[in-house]
Amino acid sequence: MTFISTAFETHKLMCKENMLIAYTGHFDHLLTTLLLVNIKSKLSELESSTGIDKRVYSVLVESIENVSKHGFQGDEKQFIATLLLSKSDTKYTIVTGNHVLNTEIPEIKAKLENVMRRNQMELKQMYREQILSKRTDENNAGLGMIDIAIKSGNLIIYDFKPLTENTSFYLFQTEINIPKP
């Protein structure tokens, strides 16, 4: 397939999936800030009367921070990550993808499972404990993940796709339902 055909196929796929943002590249703070400014204004236009824009934005920020602060930073090429945001009539879907070392997978899985098996009340209790605990690490991912689980109603899916002998692509998906009018 020529590159121009690939571009056309990508365009068709993005329209079909109603993709609001599809980004692959470096996730540094400045760039993600610029992306978020753009997304925030798009969401405000779409959801000015429901308030769901703020929830989607919040989950999006925590998802991006999860990538930019915990993504594998070994090789330049491997720090390239992906962000997708799509909207259907009933929900918003956010997907992030980033390289991780295979040795990191068990710890990431354990953290995710620890959040995913909780109900809303347990999540709120965990959130409270985390927020009042002493700050030990700027990159403490626990609170962000709990926040995502609370705001999305725990609609989280994850997967690890093998890339090389030592690395995998970590995909993290969250859905936020759009309330019925």
- Beta-carbon contacts of residue 56 (< 8 Å; ≥ 6 apart): 43, 47, 85, 92, 94, 176
Residues 55-94 contacting another protein, CB under 8 A: 55, 57-58, 61-62, 65
Closest to another protein by CB, 57 vs 170, is: 57
Give me the least distance between CB of 165 and another protein, in Å please: 34
Q: Return the range that interacts with another protein (CB under 8 A); candidates 6-14, 15-23, 96-104, 133-141.
A: 133-141
Question: Does residue number 11 form part of the binding site for another protein (CB under 8 A)?
Answer: no
167: exposed, middle or buried (Cβ count in 10 Å: 0-12, 13-18, 19+): buried
Closest to another protein by CB, 15 vs 30, is: 30
x/- binding map, residues 93-132, to another protein, per CB under 8 A? -------------------------------x--xx-xxx
């993290």: which residue's tokens? 172
Per CB under 8 A, residues contacting another protein are 29, 33, 36-37, 49-51, 54-55, 57-58, 61-62, 65, 124, 127-128, 130-132, 135, 138, 140, 143-144, 146-147, 151
